[in-house]
Amino acid sequence: MDNLLLELKKQIIAQLNLQDIKPEDISDDLPLFAEGLGLDSIDALELIVLLQQYYKIKLTNADDGPKVFRTVKTMAEYIENHQTDK
């Protein structure tokens, strides 16, 4: 799980081009949207592709986004629960 969390943070930073932010700046429970990291709806769409590209998980219902992408931890939990090929 810890590896996955770190990996995810690096991927989020790279995919969203979060300048001047390091993985250690994103705590596992930091809200990714709004008052936390400040991501927006376009970022949510980027994260959907991230899940698909690196974890082969297809989030078919965009409405699930806010739940899944609440924090890095919720993302990691979702990945662990939905990864079938590992």
Beta strands, E only, the chain: none
Residues paired with 69 in a beta bridge = none
> Closer CB to other proteins, residue 2 or residue 20?
20
- State the minimum distance, in angstroms, from the CB of residue 2 to other proteins: 27
| Site for other proteins, residues 58 to 77, rule: CB under 8 A | 62
Instruction: Return d(Cα 34, Cα 54) in angstroms, integer.
Output: 25
> Closer CB to other proteins, residue 39 or residue 72?
39
Instruction: Return d(Cα 39, Cα 5) in angstroms, integer.
Output: 18
Q: Is 16 in the site for other proteins (CB under 8 A)?
A: yes
